[in-house]
Structure 1
Amino acid sequence: MSVSTETRIKWTSADLELLPENGNNYEIIDGELYMTRAPHWKHQTSIARITNALVSWSNQSKLGQTIINPGIIFSDDNNVIPDLIWISNKKLESCVDEAGHFTSAPELVVEILSQKPNDIKRDKETKLKLYSNRGVREYWIVDWQLKQVEIYRRYEGKLTLMITLLDDDSITSELLPNFSCQIRDFFL
């Protein structure tokens, strides 16, 4: 009688060093390797517009920093590159390694959805679970095609969908006192 066993390769931070530098982004979540190619230009435009709003607010408030595509190494088998984060100055002082990678969760993570179903599933399920387990306080999933933003906030120990904002809505956050922006300003 033959018994079939499936052996799964568990990727680690060391494995990332061996991958080619070819313009693709590589992430590891729970030991599984994910690769993404350069996204649609409207994806990139949404990142720029959200970044501008958060940087403007951060410059006025002096409470933290907005960072595009940071490397976050939660553990040897959980390395991600979110589209955008906001992190308080207080937290920033204690969670960066010598290479400039973050080693713990920022307060806010923003992911802009790509067009591929696997990428959408990763942002809405796999990364949501990872960010929730690692202590992210707020997670924005931005859909530039539908022109909407899903807001997940920490509730009873996990990130929970609180509201989906549409084109005519304004976005605010308890993390960002006095921050307010029209959702339509995030999109072309």
Structure 2
Amino acid sequence: MYQSTRWKSADLDLLPDNGNRYEIIDGELLVTRAPHWDHQRVITRLIQSLGIWSSQSKLGEVVTTPGIIFTDDDNVIPDLVWISNERLARILDDSGHLVGAPELVVEVLSAGSDNERRDREVKRKLYAIRGVQEYWIVDWQKQQIEIFRRDSNGLLLIATLFGSDVLSSPLLSNFEQSVAEVFS
């Protein structure tokens, strides 16, 4: 009988520091390479606008590529998160990792059908189960942003935004960002 390896957080310490991103979802090891330049450019624009808003509002913080250790076999590194000060105080462990869900998670799609499926299906399901309130999937190639919000059935798609739209969120009072500027 064949048994697959079930990866745990401690196993990550055994992997090489070679520029790859290692994540574990439901005990499965997921490996991605360094992202495309445009992927990183989009993240930079979002971190700048969310960072300015966060500094002015003093409601929370925005961070790129934080480690989130939901459980020993659910350990992910989203592209960007926003978390309220109140929640951050409750779920940041002594090692500097989040051990619970931030309010907002943003993933920018990387090229390849496996990467896209991971963000659209596997990670969205995990984030829904763990209590993320809002999930943005940013497609830098199509220049669109899909907004998923929590309801009783999980994280449901409520809008797809394009260049002429404005990005906002009920989580982020008075935050507005031109979608065109995210991709410019």
Pairwise TM-score range, normalised by the shorter structure = over 0.9
In the alignment, structure 1 residue 90 sits paired with structure 2 residue 86: yes
Task: Please give the residue correspondences for 1:1-188 in structure 2 after superposition, counting only pairs within 5 Å.
Answer: 5-188=1-184
Contiguous gaps of at least 5 residues in structure 2: none
Shift of 1:36: 0.6
The separation in 2 between residues aligned to 1:187 and 1:71, in whole angstroms, is 26
Deviations 1:103-125 (A, max 9, x none): 00000000000011111110000
Q: CA deviation at 1:94?
A: 1.1
Deviation at 1:157? 4.4
Taking structure 1 as the reference length, the TM-score comes to 0.96
Alpha-carbon distance in 1 for matches of 2:80, 2:153 = 23
* RMSD between superposed Cα atoms in Å: 0.7
Give the letter for the 1:96 counterpart: L
Where does structure 1 differ by over 3 angstroms across 4 or more consecutive aligned residues?
none
Give a deviation string over 1:29-87, Cα, whole Å, max 9, x none: 00000001111100000000000110011011100000000000000000000000000
Fraction of identical pairs, as percent: 55
Cα distance between partner residues in 2 of 1:21 and 1:72: 18
Whichever of the two has the greater Rg, that structure is 1
Q: How many positions carry a matched residue from both structures?
A: 184
1 CA distance for matches of 2:153 and 2:89?
24
The CA distance in 1 between the partners of 2:113 and 2:153, in whole Å, is 28
Report the TM-score when normalising by structure 2.
0.98
Please state whether the residue corresponding to 1:93 is helix, strand or coil.
helix
Q: Which runs of 5+ in 1 are unaligned?
A: none
